[in-house]
Each structure stands twice: as structure tokens, then as C-alpha cells.
């Protein structure tokens, strides 16, 4: 019986315009989305390679200049040109290190928040600057979002499922063949189950084989543990929409009503529930104002700077061994004072930042706990986590930059405090941030 139903369904679908359209649109949108994703990742990788090269070139140049100075072949006229000076190596011009969030292997699958959040930043002794490549982008291009694989899977595939499932039972009723099926020795329920199973399997097969083929062509490493999870997500998500179709078609004999109900459910899960959840979270836990936060940081800076001399004297009293008394070059006093006040500013602004983030997290937590109401929202989040483009991961850049800045300061500050300049040999061994995947 199953063989008969499958064969009939196959013949039926092959002649169906809707199916022909889906068989064309599904692979095309999948390929385009994966291709765009892969392009995005490869642009990021190119940028990372360029950053590493420019960083390497800077330090090689400093080491070479220092070597020439040591050999008496070069003289520098100003202190800020001396490559052995810790400030020249840790603070000025191109000095400093890039802290980079490397794209994860499956980054091509979901843009997530990667178009908004920076994935690299520069760390020097006093600064942590996240590089916002989006700053120059046309904001209109954000409005409709990106055509990524996550969009195809979460938004479009359910519509294909609906297009294949909305009239499985009602069509038989409308065309009068349902009565004929009832007169068969096999139960109609079994026939309907077979029809749904066939359509589900066919669409799943099309989606998975397209994904497999394109990931091979575009070299997206899907043959991995995470790749298997993606396959499970696709299988489960499509099953969810097919089951919805089954339920809806059980209650109505009119194809048009089924289609409307199913599209209504699609609108509910994909548009209305997420909109209501974010509305509720925004209302219940409003975000503090960034503009006021900016002025709060400014107030901290202003206050510390006003007490700069006093704070520096206190610091000297507490750290007599970390300070060269007596005759020192002109820049030493100025920069020691600046670095000390910077430490105060950083510790206090970090507190203010943490307070801000706590408020942001409260809103996000409210959304996370309500996300369970919408399978598309859950899947969207899970895909972003797999792709490493979720907010939590990208938001870690600042934390990683902070950690590395501590390491950078621990390395350079004692040398500067003691005016212990670097040799050409030592320049080659300055710290490098750990590779973040």
C-alpha cells in the first residue's frame, strides 16, 4: 500500500506547479544564502590576515630599527621615535595588538548579530577600541536583514511545508475522491499518514541534499559534530511544521481555510509572538539610555582628571618601588601621571559599564525565558550559537580585550615604570593574545 501511495504522490507532485516551484526555489535560495554567508566569512578571514600582517610588520620594523640603533647605524631625534621605549611599543601609532574573535567553522550559516557587533579590536596600554566595520555601512541595508541560511530555514522552509501540506486531505474532499478512498480496504488515516510522510521525507531530502551539496562546493565544514546538529535542527523544525499541517488539516475540509490557518500560525510564531515578547520585555525592563551612560563615563573621566595630581601622589606613596624618583626624561612624569589616572578611569568606567550591562541582561533574560513560546525564535538562537554569531559570543570581545589589556599592561608597565627599554631581541617576545575561536 505504502508503495502505491508513494508512487501516486510522486506522480502527483511531479505534475504540481507548486512543487515544481518549490523544487526550484528551495535549492536556489539555499545556495544564494550559503554563498553570501561564505563570502562574508572569507572577507572576515582576509581582514584578519591583513591585521596580522600589519601587526607583524610593525614589530619587525621596530626590532630592526632597534638593532640598527644598537649597532650604531641609526640615531633617533625624539623619544617617541625610540623603538626601545615601552610606550612606542605599547601605545603609539600602530603599536598594540588586535584581539580577534575568529569566525567559527559554521559562521556562514547565520549572520546573527555579526553585522552589528565588531569581531576585532585594538588594545594598547590605555585604549581598547573595538573596530566597528559597520560604522560606515548604509543603515538602510540593515532594515530588511540578510538573506542567510537561517532565514531560508526559519522563514521560508515552513512556507514550503505549508504549500505541500495544506491540502493533503481537503483536496480529496473537494475533488470528491475522499469517498473513493474510504471505500478502499485500507484505512484513510493510514493513506493520509503515508501521504504526509512522503511529502515530509521528500522535502527533507531536498533540503538536506541541497545543503550537503552546497556545503561541499562552498567548503563549509558540515561533516562535523555541529553539522550533525544542524541536520537534526532541520529535521525537527520541518517535522514541527508538518505536524502543524496535519493537525490543521484534520479539522477543516476546505483547502483555502487550511492555507489561511497555517499561514496564520506561521505569522503567529514568526512575527507576532517574537514581536509581543520583545515588546513585553522592553516595557517591563526598559534599557537604560546609552546617551546618559556616555555622560556618566565622561563625569568619571572629568572627576579623575581633576584629581590627577592628588591621585598620582597617592599612587607614588603606595608604590614607591614602581616609580623612578630623581631625574627622569620629560615624558616620564607626564606619562606616569596619565597611566595612573587611566587606571582609575578604567576601573570606574568598568563598574558603570557592568551596571549598564546588568540592565541590558535583565531585558534579554526576560526574552530568553519567553523564547520557548516560539520554535522559530529558539532555532534562530541555536543556529546563531552554532555559527558563533550570537550576541553573547560577540559581546565577549570587550571582555577578551579587557583581559588582554591586563596582560599587556602587566608586561609593559613595569618596564616603563623602571625606564627599562627593550633590546631588539626582546621586541620579538612581546605578548600575543590567545586565539579565540
Partner 1 sequence: MITFRILKNELLRLARDRVLMVLSVLVLILLTVSVLTGHQFVKQLSVAQTEAEHIARLQWEQQGAKNPHSAAHYGTFAFKPVSLLMVFEPGITRYTGVSLFLEGHRQNAASFSLAEDQEASLRFAELKPAFIFTYLFPLLIIFAGFRMISSEKESGMYRFLIAQGVTRKQMLAGKALALWLLVLALFLPFFVLGLLVAGLVAAPSIELLRYILISVVWLVYFGIIVNLTIGTSALVKHSNMAMVGLLAFWITIALVVPKVTSNIAANRYPVPSTTEFYQAVRDDLLEGVDGHNPFSEHSVAFRDSVLAAYGVEIVDDLPFNFRGMMLQEAEEFEKRIYDLHLSRIEEIHARQMGAFSVGTLFSPALAMRLSAMHFAGTDRHAFNRFTAQAESYRIDLMRVLNNDLRDNAVGDQAVGYVAHERFFSENPMFVYQRAQKIQIPSEVRRFILVLSGWLLLSAGYMGFASAKEEAA
Site for partner 1 in 44-73 (CB under 8 A): 47, 50-51
Contact yes or no for 270/228 (Cβ under 8 A): no
User: Which one of residues 8, 58, 92, 151 is an interface residue with partner 1 (CB under 8 A)?
Assistant: 151
Among 179, 275, 314, 358, contact with partner 1 (rule: CB under 8 A)? 275
Residue number with CB closer to partner 1 (43 or 420): 43
Taking CB under 8 A as the criterion, the residue among 38, 215, 255, 341 binding partner 1 is 255
Cα–Cα separations (whole angstroms), residue 426 to 78, 400, 423:
21, 25, 5
Closest separation between CB of residue 37 and partner 1, Å? 11
Nearer to partner 1, 316 or 371 (CB): 371
Site size with partner 1, rule: CB under 8 A: 76
Nearer to partner 1, 230 or 281 (CB): 281
200: phi then psi, degrees, rounded to nearest 5: -60, -50
One residue of 16, 127, 235, 278 binding partner 1 per CB under 8 A: 278
Toward partner 1, which CB reaches closer, 155 or 411? 155
Stretch 365-394 residues interacting with partner 1 (CB under 8 A)? 367-368, 371, 376-377, 380-381, 384, 390-391
Minimal distance in Å, beta carbon 277 to partner 1? 7
The residue (of 243 and 360) whose beta carbon lies closer to partner 1 is: 360
Query: 119-148: which residues touch partner 1 (CB under 8 A)?
Result: 131-133, 135-147
- Residue owning grid cell 623612578: 324
Give dist(CA 112, CA 394) in Å, integer: 10
Q: Out of 272, 358, 419, 432, which residue is the one contacting partner 1 (CB under 8 A)?
A: 272
Q: Which stretch binds partner 1 (CB under 8 A): 56-64, 214-222, 293-301, 346-354?
A: 293-301
Nearest distance, CB of residue 428 and partner 1, angstroms = 25
CB atoms within 10 A of CB 412: 22
Is the Cβ of residue 45 or residue 228 nearer to partner 1 in the bound state?
45
Interface with partner 1 (CB under 8 A), residue from 181, 212, 246, 260: 260
- Subset of residues 195 to 234 that bind partner 1, contact rule: CB under 8 A: none
Among the residue ranges 81-89, 108-116, 327-335, 428-436, the one whose residues contact partner 1 (CB under 8 A)? 108-116
Binding of partner 1 by 286 (CB under 8 A): yes
For residues 379 and 430, which CB has a smaller minimum distance to partner 1 in the complex?
379
Is residue 159 within the footprint of partner 1 (CB under 8 A)?
yes
- Find the shortest distance in angstroms from Cβ 282 to partner 1: 7
Amino acid at each position: 500500500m505504502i508503495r502505491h501511495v508513494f508512487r501516486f504522490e510522486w506522480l502527483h507532485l511531479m505534475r504540481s506547479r507548486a512543487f515544481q516551484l518549490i523544487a526550484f526555489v528551495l535549492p536556489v535560495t539555499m545556495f544564494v544564502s550559503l554563498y553570501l554567508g561564505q563570502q562574508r566569512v572569507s572577507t572576515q578571514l582576509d581582514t584578519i590576515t591583513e591585521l596580522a600582517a600589519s601587526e607583524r610588520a610593525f614589530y619587525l620594523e621596530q626590532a630592526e630599527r632597534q638593532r640598527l640603533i644598537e649597532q650604531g647605524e641609526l640615531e633617533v631625534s625624539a623619544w617617541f621615535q625610540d623603538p626601545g621605549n615601552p610606550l612606542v611599543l605599547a601605545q603609539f601609532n600602530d603599536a598594540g595588538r588586535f584581539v580577534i574573535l575568529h569566525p567559527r567553522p559554521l559562521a556562514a550559516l547565520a549572520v546573527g548579530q555579526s553585522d552589528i557587533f565588531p569581531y576585532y579590536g585594538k588594545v594598547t596600554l590605555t585604549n581598547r577600541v573595538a573596530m566597528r566595520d559597520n560604522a560606515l555601512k548604509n543603515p538602510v541595508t540593515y532594515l530588511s536583514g540578510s538573506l542567510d541560511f537561517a532565514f531560508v530555514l526559519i522563514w521560508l522552509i515552513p512556507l514550503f511545508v505549508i504549500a505541500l501540506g495544506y491540502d493533503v486531505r481537503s483536496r480529496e474532499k473537494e475533488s470528491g475522491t475522499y469517498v473513493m478512498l474510504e471505500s478502499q480496504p485500507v484505512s484513510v488515516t493510514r493513506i493520509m499518514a503515508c501521504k504526509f510522510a512522503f511529502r515530509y521525507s521528500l522535502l527533507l531530502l531536498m533540503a538536506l541534499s541541497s545543503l550537503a551539496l552546497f556545503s561541499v562546493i562552498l567548503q563549509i565544514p558540515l561533516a562535523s559534530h555541529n553539522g550533525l546538529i544542524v541536520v537534526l535542527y532541520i529535521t525537527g523544525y520541518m517535522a514541527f511544521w508538518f505536524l502543524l499541517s496535519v493537525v490543521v488539516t484534520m479539522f477543516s475540509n476546505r483547502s483555502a481555510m487550511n492555507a489561511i490557518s497555517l499561514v496564520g500560525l506561521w505569522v503567529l510564531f514568526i512575527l507576532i509572538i517574537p514581536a509581543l515578547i520583545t515588546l513585553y520585555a522592553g516595557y517591563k525592563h526598559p534599557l537604560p539610555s546609552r546617551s546618559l551612560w556616555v555622560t556618566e563615563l565622561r563625569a568619571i573621566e572629568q572627576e579623575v582628571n581633576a584629581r590627577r595630581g592628588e591621585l598620582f601622589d597617592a599612587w607614588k606613596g603606595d608604590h614607591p618601588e614602581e616609580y623612578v624618583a630623581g631625574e627622569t626624561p620629560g615624558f616620564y612624569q607626564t606619562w606616569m601621571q596619565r597611566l595612573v589616572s587611566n587606571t582609575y578611569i578604567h576601573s570606574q568606567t568598568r563598574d558603570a559599564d557592568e551596571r549598564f550591562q546588568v540592565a541590558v541582561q535583565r531585558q534579554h533574560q526576560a526574552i530568553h525565558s519567553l523564547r520557548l513560546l516560539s520554535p522559530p525564535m529558539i532555532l534562530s538562537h541555536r543556529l546563531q550559537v552554532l555559527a558563533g554569531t550570537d550576541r553573547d559570543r560577540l559581546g565577549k570581545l570587550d571582555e577578551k580585550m579587557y583581559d588582554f589589556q591586563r596582560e599587556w599592561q602587566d608586561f609593559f608597565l613595569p618596564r616603563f615604570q623602571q625606564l627599562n627599554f627593550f633590546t631588539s631581541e626582546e621586541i620579538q617576545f612581546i605578548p600575543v593574545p590567545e586565539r579565540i575561536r
